[in-house]
Amino acid sequence: MTTDFARDNSNLQDAFYALSLAKPAPDAEVLDKLVRCYPEFAAELTDMAIELVLDPLGDDEVAEAASGSSNTDLMVLRAMSRFQNHLHTIKTEKRASTTMPQLPPTNPFSTLGTADIRALGQRLHANTVFILKLRDRVIREDTLTPGFKHRIADELKAPLDVVVAHFAGQSSISTQAHYKADQKPEASDKQTFEDALRSSGLTEEQQKSLLSL
């Protein structure tokens, strides 16, 4: 079974945590407040509020104090194994990134022609301007949602770490870009994901759809 939670939009996870922490059993006031804070997740928050109402918290405390079983021990061992494997991968990647010479990151968009860029824009329910921002690393990597990065990796058939490294690299002006000045223009400061969406001529609906990935 594949697990999707880690891939979910981190903003959605934050909204769920915020709702759950606001009050053990949410009421209309709390729900309204959270929906105003996260209007893009109104439906998800309402579903979660219904589940929270039907999920009495006291049971967790009783269960936590209950005696364990071999089944529990096995679950814990497997979870610890996943923790160790993940930690090992992170440490190995960190070590590799500090010992490797600092080459510019591979640009997974570099093989895309004009038609490919347009097609990618359509598949993402975006436009060419926005895709060019992705190609030229104009958007700050830490503001992109995990779900969005996964989607780009899937679309480009590139490993996720390559996509993440690309976005984390310095913004650039593509060698294929045309400009009127005598000298090649310098890349400007990076934009946040939300700013990039707003300034790419996308509709509200398109912006919401991309933010919710």
Cβ nearer to another protein, comparing 28 with 103: 28
Choose, by CB under 8 A, the member of 9, 48, 138, 197 that binds another protein.
48
Total residues contacting another protein by CB under 8 A comes to 66
Shortest Cβ 202–another protein spacing (Å): 21
- DSSP per-residue letters across the chain: ----GGGS-HHHHHHHHHHHHH-SS--HHHHHHHHHH-GGGHHHHHHHHHHHHTS-THHHHHHHHS---HHHHHHHHHHHHHHHHHHHHHHHHHHHHHHS--PPPP-TTTT--HHHHHHHHHHTT--HHHHHHHHTT-B-GGGS-HHHHHHHHHHHT--HHHHHHHHHSPP---TT---SSSSPPPP-PPBPHHHHHHTTT--HHHHHHHHT-
Cβ nearer to another protein, comparing 87 with 177: 87
Shortest Cβ 5–another protein spacing (Å): 5
Verify binding: residue 116, another protein, rule CB under 8 A: no
Verify binding: residue 194, another protein, rule CB under 8 A: no
Verify binding: residue 177, another protein, rule CB under 8 A: no
Cβ nearer to another protein, comparing 24 with 104: 24
Could you list the residues that contact another protein (CB under 8 A)?
A: 1, 3-6, 8, 10, 13-21, 24-28, 31-32, 35, 37-38, 46-57, 59-66, 68-69, 71-73, 75-76, 78-80, 82-83, 86-87, 90, 141-142, 146, 164, 168
